[in-house]
């Protein structure tokens, strides 16, 4: 067995933490560390050869906001290199957009606004994907998940679209060892409460909209959160499998 290495978790905002992803990594005994690389044009990111896995989280900025956040360019380079090397990669929301752009896809700024609990439709490939199939175990053809985004991306060339919605045609895609999720499976009740109390997240929402999101999540999370643990457990298992 090769020596243990770190799973790198790149965060862009304190409240956009890995949540259920972190618990899945912990449950498999995987070491991980969180870093923020946004504002340093030459951030101290590890070489791809040192990675067991790579997770890139969401954030309020855009995937090409390099002028305000020069570290994003380094994140995109690392995402492309990790995917090319076969490292298990997971991009969530902004992280998915960074992954897509790193692989040559187009970013659509401000097209695809979705906030709150709403369904996604899994494609045939999504239903067969080893990480996404648990979303349908309750016999719901279009699982209801948490959305919180305004930008959208095309699928990179050579990728497979795994999920879509009427507003956002690419809700999830796979490209080799990399999985991109536009929606937020990592969020549970306590983390959502933190989001709803964070002005950057909820400042543009009415009190009624905040209450509706909280109520919808309370109804859905008892089923969704256990399935999210299975999804991210499969990601952790992919890391262990590659390690050998």
Enzyme catalytic residues: 93, 184, 186
Roughly what angle, to the nearest 10 degrees, separates helices 94-102 and 71-84?
Answer: 70
Of 119, 157, 158, 160, the residue nearest 141 (C-alpha): 119
Tokens representing 135 are 């979303």
Q: How far apart are CA 62 and CA 117, in angstroms?
A: 22
Token pair 């590890």 is found at 46
Closest CA to 172 of 194, 205, 149: 149
- Count of CB atoms within 10 A of residue 64's CB? 16
DSSP per-residue codes, 190-233: HHHHHHHH-HHHHTTS-HHHHHHHHHHHHHHHHHHHHHHHHHHH
- Rounded distance, CA 78 to CA 99, Å? 9
Whose CA is closest to 8, among 239, 173, 218? 239
φ, ψ dihedrals at 73, nearest 5° = -65, -40
Contact 18, 186 (CB under 8 A): yes
């Amino acid at each position: 067995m090769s020596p243990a290495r770190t799973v790198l978790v790149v965060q862009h905002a304190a409240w956009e933490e890995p949540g259920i992803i972190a618990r899945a990594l912990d449950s498999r005994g995987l070491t991980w560390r969180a870093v923020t690389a946004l504002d340093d044009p030459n951030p101290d990111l590890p070489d791809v050869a040192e990675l067991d896995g790579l997770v890139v989280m969401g954030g309020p900025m855009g995937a090409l906001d390099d002028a305000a956040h020069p570290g994003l360019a380094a994140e995109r380079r690392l995402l492309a290199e990790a995917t090319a090397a076969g490292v298990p990669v997971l991009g969530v929301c902004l992280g998915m957009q960074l992954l897509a752009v790193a692989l040559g896809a187009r970013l659509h700024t401000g097209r695809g606004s979705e906030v709150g609990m709403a369904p996604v439709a899994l494609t045939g490939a999504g239903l067969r994907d080893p990480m996404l199939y648990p979303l349908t175990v309750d016999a719901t053809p279009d699982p209801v998940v948490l959305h919180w985004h305004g930008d959208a991306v095309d699928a990179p060339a050579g990728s497979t679209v795994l999920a879509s919605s009427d507003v956002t045609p690419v809700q999830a895609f796979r490209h080799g060892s990399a999985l991109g999720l536009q929606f937020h499976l990592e969020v549970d009740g306590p983390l959502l409460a933190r989001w709803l109390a964070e002005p950057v997240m909820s400042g543009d929402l009415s009190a009624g909209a905040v209450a509706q999101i909280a109520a919808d999540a309370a109804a859905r999370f008892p089923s969704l959160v256990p399935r999210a643990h299975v999804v991210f457990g499969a990601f952790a298992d992919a890391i262990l499998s590659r390690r050998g």
